[in-house]
Structure 1
């Protein structure tokens, strides 16, 4: 054998070894989850295997006894009754045990499935924020959800259950054949090898098409499940978008159908050969048994028994082969779930913030560009925000204002430089503790489909309502809340409660501001806090808000420059860096970018 062939053979062996190791690591991983959540599953798993394995032998043995007894000239009714009773009772007991074991396993796995889906959800809520915008991660999540729904722990368990029980049947029936006529084993093994080779190709085809369909199905999910929701309702109706959406849905469905048709055609090309080989092997088995019976090598009862055993042998072999091949497919699918659950959660430091009053945030030569983008959004940012200082950040759209806030919030990591909190890199602090220092309202804030109170307090759900009511008064939303059926306990949206309410954009923004106030963090950040409010509401919110955050560090982003006049310092972003900074009066005297923007807006204020 040449060195090249030896290397190729060794490489193939190593790849096979790695696949087996990966397979068992995934099985062990999910088995530990089952053991942790529901140990009883393994008891019913074993009971089910024993019942499955014994069941066919009741009929094989019973058939042999009853046919031989009928053919026996000295047969007795009593013996026939005993044999019939053995078959009836045996079948009943094994069937009952199988049914009970399967039902109990399903009940056990209901709890396990809920736990795994909770784990998936937990990862989705705690992975790096930048990963939530990564198409590869979104595709991985789609494959994870679809893969678990399609396969899940139940399929892995059922496959192992079937493989073990059918292997026991295979060994038992093989022993019967060898004692009677060994040539049957050879014929049936040919059937086995054909089934093995064809099923292997079939699983490979299915897995390849599973990946091909993932991208298309993500588009279908968007069109069918997301577009019809109320968030898109206005645009669809006012811009008559329905024809465009339905046309896109049809295009996506046609593409999916083409892929599925191609999958069916490829599968049929190989499946037809197995059907031919299987039928030939089955015919040979009955021919061999018939000849042996005519030559008096076996009794008529053994003919019937072996014929029954042949079906059990073929069925068990086919099950083992298809299960092993399907196991490869299921393992590949569950590998996606395993990879997602093993994803790195937010990078965490080990320093606990021991900050009480004085907080200083410093940007040192910070530059940043979004993942998979070569253009810098921020370049060489150097600024210090002192404790208790009220800062306004202004600038035209796209100059990096919101990105600046996201960096403070550790939603992204800087590409160059560092951000310090009291002299230490913010990434060195424990993330969960660090974010407790921040109360943030982004312009694209979201409301949860829970109660008003839950949307405000988030974690501290046992808090008395008095403080919340006071904050709602300050936030200018109290009258609207009191007008609802259950006040603070009223659900937002109708997803969980048909009596839920839909707040206007301005009302929802007021609730978001109340949420930030309730958190009572030493750093308050408002990204376009009044974008959805009318001028009167804006005045009321600012009038109360500036008093409330008097001693806190406050950072505002606003396009209404008149709202920035009360701030200690105004930072002007332009050309992806800080262009100007100073108080309102200082910047107006500078007659630069800020003064020009303010004077343009002042025409409309007057």
Structure 2
């Protein structure tokens, strides 16, 4: 309990500190508004009492109407002030402004963290849960905590003090009859009421599963196939099934705790009746006048318990949102790429794997099993093998996206991770199998490959080498043309043109190592072979790695590595591997007909 209270105060301190730094006057005015809202309740008791008593006196001719007018004005003012302060100022201005401030501060800081975070966290479900909850809850949690809970708590405390003071002025023991049910209810809730926020945290996997599926029903890249295969109804049924499963879990929770919740929520529902009967007794005995009796009765039925409950809302209702700050802290404790290290980028690069073992986090199967090889500087290598043999995993380790479980990866004889993250980014130019099609301009799509060296000359050299210059110049606005259809004015280009963009991206910055990780899997074998030949010519004296399960590239490289069961099963030139009549020879023989058939068709 003490730990939670400390965490709560720390979270509010951090939250208010961010907002106060940007809008100090707004924060001060918010606290003043909360105080005013709190004073309205006891002032209303005072005003209502005079409205009833003095109204009767005016009717009897015992009081001049002009003496009654100030209370009518005050009554009107107290009725009109809350919606003005709440709807217009607090939730019309303060809440919106606070969300914008926190969106900029929190998300800006979180995006900077993503830049430094180790890639492995994005393929680890536990880390993904932390990232998702921290990033997507930020605005909603902040909006509830300030101004909603801060104003509600402060105004309720002031209203409670004022209301209880009025009751004590009538009879001191009315404090006991009012507070005892409230304290009993609060104790019961603390003792018996299960924390729904802890329960909700366990639903992330289920909610994540139907959220992803819901996105598939809305996003453009999925709609084409959904319409083609008439799969939308099928996917909607799956979505409903997953959502229904989540709802059933909620229902189980609700029914399981219905008895405790009913008891806890109704102790203070019966207390006003008892207290009004006590006030009625005092009224009959002539110890309170009619105006005070009606005003305090309205207080009992209306706001007294609402105020008392509100005075604890900072603690009782912040649980779910404080969990955001817990995940926020966990988010920033996720490990980062080493920023220190060798900063120099070598002109020539040799690569060596020494007995590298690796399995993905939270799995039991080794993908790489003692992988060892060496690639000399300037050498061109093909890495071939069936799907699932670990080719792309090897590249992820080479790029530093994952660290080996054991073994070493060396660059020019030095450990890969002894190079800084920034220098590794300048060493490798990679075209991935699932390269990204950014919805930005053609030029921006290319220079994103090396922002630090995004000069006009380097951009022009990259698109020239990738043979993308001609089609980019032919676009409506040339290199300034917006690509993709996510925004108005964007244009779609062909898959082959996107591949040229991705290759140009890899050539940005004159990087010493170039990698093609099966980016041509959608092309026919002849077109793939042609593209690999072009890429080999473009790469000149650079160390070049071709990753493929098809053998279109193998005859143009210096050596071939055959990856099988997580290790190098065969290595050598095309001719030497054919003569061995092993894995490579069998693969080549089974694929040879693809190229022969394509060649015959082209003739």
Residue 235 of structure 2 corresponds to 245
Q: Per the alignment, in what secondary structure is the counterpart of residue 348 of structure 2? A: coil
Which range is displaced more, 438-447 or 81-90? 81-90
2:66 to 65, 68, 78: 78
Give the Cα–Cα distance (whole angstroms) in 2 for the partners of residues 156 and 269 of structure 1.
Answer: 33
Change (3 A) 1:431 1:301: same
1:45 to 8, 16, 30: 30
1:174 to 160, 164, 173: 164
Corresponding position: 1:104 with 2:93: yes
| 8 Å contact kept, 2:466–2:538 | no
The 5 Å alignment of 1:504-543 reads 504-534=494-524, 537-538=527-528, 541-543=531-533
Instruction: Give the superposition deviation at 1:408.
Output: 0.7
Residue 6 of structure 1 corresponds to none
TM-score (norm 1): 0.87
Corresponding position: 1:87 with 2:75: yes
TM-score (norm 2): 0.87
Residue 478 of structure 2 corresponds to 487
The 5 Å alignment of 1:285-434 reads 285-310=275-300, 311-340=302-331, 342-434=332-424
Residue 21 of structure 1 corresponds to 6
Corresponding position: 1:165 with 2:150: no
Give the Cα–Cα distance (whole angstroms) in 2 for the partners of residues 211 and 400 of structure 1.
Answer: 35
Q: Per the alignment, in what secondary structure is the counterpart of residue 490 of structure 2? A: coil
| 8 Å contact kept, 1:162–1:319 | yes
Give the Cα–Cα distance (whole angstroms) in 2 for the partners of residues 605 and 123 of structure 1.
Answer: 48
Change (3 A) 1:465 1:435: closer
Change (3 A) 1:580 1:37: farther
Q: Per the alignment, in what secondary structure is the counterpart of residue 427 of structure 1? A: helix
The 5 Å alignment of 1:115-194 reads 115=104, 116-123=106-113, 126-144=116-134, 147-148=137-138, 150-194=140-184
Residue 245 of structure 2 corresponds to 255
Change (3 A) 1:245 1:485: same
Q: Deviations over 1:337-390 (max 9, x none)?
A: 4433x2424331511321342333222222112222232222222323232222
Residue 103 of structure 2 corresponds to 114
Residue 62 of structure 1 corresponds to 47
Q: Per the alignment, in what secondary structure is the counterpart of residue 363 of structure 1? A: strand
Give the Cα–Cα distance (whole angstroms) in 2 for the partners of residues 280 and 229 of structure 1.
Answer: 52
Give the Cα–Cα distance (whole angstroms) in 2 for the partners of residues 495 and 465 of structure 1.
Answer: 27
Instruction: Give the superposition deviation at 1:155.
Output: 3.4
Q: Per the alignment, in what secondary structure is the counterpart of residue 554 of structure 1? A: strand
Change (3 A) 1:258 1:94: closer
| 8 Å contact kept, 2:356–2:408 | yes
| 8 Å contact kept, 1:419–1:426 | yes
Give the Cα–Cα distance (whole angstroms) in 1 for the partners of residues 542 and 359 of structure 2.
Answer: 30
Give the Cα–Cα distance (whole angstroms) in 2 for the partners of residues 443 and 296 of structure 1.
Answer: 88
Give the Cα–Cα distance (whole angstroms) in 2 for the partners of residues 359 and 477 of structure 1.
Answer: 27
Change (3 A) 1:86 1:244: closer
Name structure 2 gaps, 5 residues minimum: 597-603
Give the Cα–Cα distance (whole angstroms) in 1 for the partners of residues 29 and 542 of structure 2.
Answer: 60
Give the Cα–Cα distance (whole angstroms) in 2 for the partners of residues 41 and 583 of structure 1.
Answer: 72
Residue 452 of structure 1 corresponds to 442
| 8 Å contact kept, 2:344–2:423 | no
Which range is displaced more, 476-485 or 377-386? 476-485
Change (3 A) 1:150 1:102: closer
Q: How many residues align?
A: 589
Change (3 A) 1:64 1:137: same
Change (3 A) 1:36 1:275: closer
Instruction: Give the superposition deviation at 1:406.
Output: 0.8
Which range is displaced more, 507-516 or 54-63? 54-63
Which range is displaced more, 556-565 or 227-236? 227-236
Which range is displaced more, 155-164 or 236-245? 236-245
Name structure 1 gaps, 5 residues minimum: 1-15
Change (3 A) 1:283 1:474: same
Residue 12 of structure 1 corresponds to none
